[in-house]
Amino acid sequence: MNITVVEHNSSWKEEYLKEEREIKEILQDELVNCFHIGSTSVPGLKAKPIIDILLVVHDVNNLDKYSMQFEKLGYEVMGEFGICGRRYFRKGGDNRTHHIHAFQYDNVQEIERHLSFRDYLCHHPEISKDYGELKSELAKKYPNDIERYGDGKDDFVKNVEKQALIWHWTAR
Element (H, E) at 91: strand 86-91
* pLDDT reported for residue 172: 58
pLDDT digits (tens, 9 = 90+) for 16-43: 999 999 999 999 999 999 999 999 999 9
Q: Which residues contact 136 (CB under 8 A, 6 or more apart)?
A: 5, 46
Q: What percent of the chain stands above pLDDT 70?
A: 99
Average pLDDT, the chain: 96
The tens digit of pLDDT for each residue in 111-136 reads: 999 999 999 999 999 999 999 999 99
pLDDT at 2: 85
DSSP 4-15: --B---THHHHH
Res 102 pLDDT > 70: yes
Q: Count the alpha carbons within 13 Å of 22 in the hemisphere toward its beta carbon.
A: 16
**Torsions phi, psi for 86 (to 5 deg):** -110, 155
